[in-house]
A = this chain, B = another copy of it.
Amino acid sequence: MLAAVIHDARDVRAEERPDPTILTPGDAVVRVVAACVCGSDLWPYRGVTPVKRPRPIGHELVGVVEELGSEVTSAQVGDFVILPFTMSCGVCQSCRAGYPAACDLVTGFGGKDRDGHPVDGAQGERVRIPLAQHSLFPVGRSEAEIEAAGLVPHLLALADVMSTGYHAAFSAGVSAGDTVVVVGDGAVGLCGVIGARLLGAGRIVAMSRHDDRAALAREFGATDVVAERGADGVAAVRDLLGPSTGSGGTGDLADAALECVGTKESMDTALDVVRGGGRVGFVGVPHLAPELSVRRLFDRNITIGGGMASARHYMETLLPEVLSGTIAPGKVFDLELPLADVAEAYAAMDERRATKVLLRP
């Protein structure tokens, strides 16, 4: 089969690899209908994370079940399924608490499973899925229906980017009437706008300096856009929210902020843009934001939470919203390419010619 393999920085190739097979009774094999490139795939692509040896890449896919191990009863051959970007057991304490991303047996794509077997990347024609019983998420509609309804991009978004945006809003404790600032206008930030809206935010300020992304943020529910960054961005938010009725004289700040980038600057902005007692949800992989001052949280009573989204858990909330047409997160895909052109997919995202690229095997 054809699958994407990253060999080194800026060297991703579509190449032939062995077809996956069932290796344990808990496995499934899924034929990939669509996959995509994640902002976090750009870390190794850009050389920020070293690529020690060639490995299959990609962790977002929707597809059709082709084979099932003898212990898997949660789906049937032929089912159209979404895969969360991490596989999980469904029974450990973290899974039961709604945090399968922190599963005791958490297993990612492109590495090895807990039995030591290699796990395929999601950017390929087929993928072996370990921990399939809990990880397969059947949509309940046929492939033909889904394709005819144009649902593929929206369902694919639930595999990671929409779930991650929702996790940012959930982790920031967004609730009815909150004023929320979304830091980052990438695909995750845009989905964070959707997440904040689903959780009832009254006002959503998207920090964006790209007209096309700002327009999509507004379509997704942003009420305001601020183009400035850093301290200027915080000042612009204060101006926007208006002078406080209290004694400070300056403008108000947000109740919550979603940190959807993962750099020190974006984290600083998220922390500075919330009021005393405010909340920050962070989902940007913190490659460049290693340390946080406890004192800084203490002095302003800020709560911070986040991490890898428990996509498998959020799908239960988000799938009905997609099927009813309430949300259309697949609009973050602004380029679709055949899997064979995966190198161009990475280049387009790296050069910001595309927000997020959908790949068709």
Contacts and interface: CB of A to CB of B under 8 A. Distances in A.
Interface of A: 89, 91-99, 101-105, 171, 244-248, 252-253, 255, 267, 275-277, 279, 282, 285-286, 289-295, 297-308, 310
Contacts of A292: 291-294, 297
A245 B93 CA distance: 7
Nearest to A94: B276
Contacts of A94: 275-277, 301
A318 to B, nearest CB: 18
Most buried by B among A275, A276, A282, A291: A276
A267 B294 contact: yes
Integer count of this chain's copies in the complex:
2
A310 B276 CA distance: 11
Contacts of A286: 294-295, 298
7 contacts: A92-B248, A93-B252, A96-B246, A97-B275, A171-B303, A277-B310, A303-B303
A97 B301 CA distance: 12
A276 B102 contact: yes
A252 B96 CA distance: 11
Contacts of A97: 255, 275-277
Contact of A298 (B244, B276, B297, B308): B308
A280 to B, nearest CB: 9
B244 A93 contact: yes
A89 B298 contact: no
A91 B253 CA distance: 14
A301 B310 contact: yes
Contacts of A102: 275-277, 299-301
Nearest to A297: B307
Nearest to A89: B247
A282 B296 CA distance: 13
